[in-house]
Amino acid sequence: MMGWLNDIMDYVFPRYCVVCGQALSSSENFLCAECLIRLPRTNLHLQKDNDIEKNLWGKMPLERASAYLRYHKKGMVSTLVANLKYKGNARLGVFMGRCMAKDLQGSSFFAGIDFIVPLPLHKSRLKQRGYNQSEQLAQGISLVTNIPMRTDILVRKRNTETQTLKSEVQRWENLQDGFECRSPEELTGKHILLVDDVMTTGATVVACADACNKIPRLRISVLTLSVAADM
Ligand SMILES: [Zn+2]
């Protein structure tokens, strides 16, 4: 759209930063320039054997792992994730996927990855939310990296997403056999990137890896939008 038309549109239909609530200029999308700069990036992708990788070692065959932002309760990233998950802001997911892919692209993080696989939602949750936030993130990453996204590989068998009140042991037990791998024969010798919004214990990612454990020479990497600050 032409610049002046954008300016008029912003005047008639003002758009606001999802983090600080300030009106956006015509060149800004979802986040104002200041919030975008201030996002607490972890830069963990630049660290060999980073804490996310260490947390997953021994639990799954892992190539590499990173999380883009640090998640603090009541912080910028929690507002961002709440918008993405609970306020119907699906396009924000694509935007954030693009942001993280652009930031990580300068490193070798995406090298050799064959497919981007978003963590699936259970179909009842998908119906409720209308979209899968991890799929929106994965789509943004795919657009920047040109690595194909596959949503037909992993299926969630049980609705295990709401488990905030459960103890860590219960969470792990609850997630066992929670996922199923479709088209395993296609994945022999491939390298997939699992994408999710928030990393806490890593239990969900490990459950996905478990579902793929019969596939010969499959390599798995993990990228999440955020990681809990106390992890
Ligand atoms: Zn802002």
Which residue's structure tokens are 């060149």?
27
For residue 64, give Cα distances in angstroms to 111, 128, 191, 222.
Answer: 11, 33, 11, 7
CA of 24 to the centre of ligand 1 (A): 8
DSSP 32: -
Query: Stretch 202-211: mean pLDDT, rounded?
Result: 94
pLDDT at 165 over 60: no
Overall pTM > 0.75: yes
CA of 37 to the centre of ligand 1 (A): 9
Q: What DSSP letter does each residue of 46-115 carry, written as one string?
A: GSTT-HHHHHHTTTS-EEEEEEEEEE-TTSHHHHHHHHHHHS--HHHHHHHHHHHHHHHHTTTTTTT--E
CA of 134 to the centre of ligand 1 (A): 23
Domain boundaries defined on the chain: 1-38, 40-228
CA of 83 to the centre of ligand 1 (A): 13
pLDDT at 2 over 80: no
Query: Stretch 114-137: mean pLDDT, rounded?
Result: 94
The secondary structure element, H or E, covering residue 9 is helix 3-12
CB atoms within 10 A of CB 102: 13
196 beta partners: 224
Query: Stretch 56-62: mean pLDDT, rounded?
Result: 94
Model confidence band, residue 161 (pLDDT cutoffs 50, 70, 90): low
Q: What is the CATH number of domain 40-228?
A: 3.40.50.2020
The tens digit of pLDDT for each residue in 74-104 reads: 999 999 999 999 888 999 999 999 999 999 9
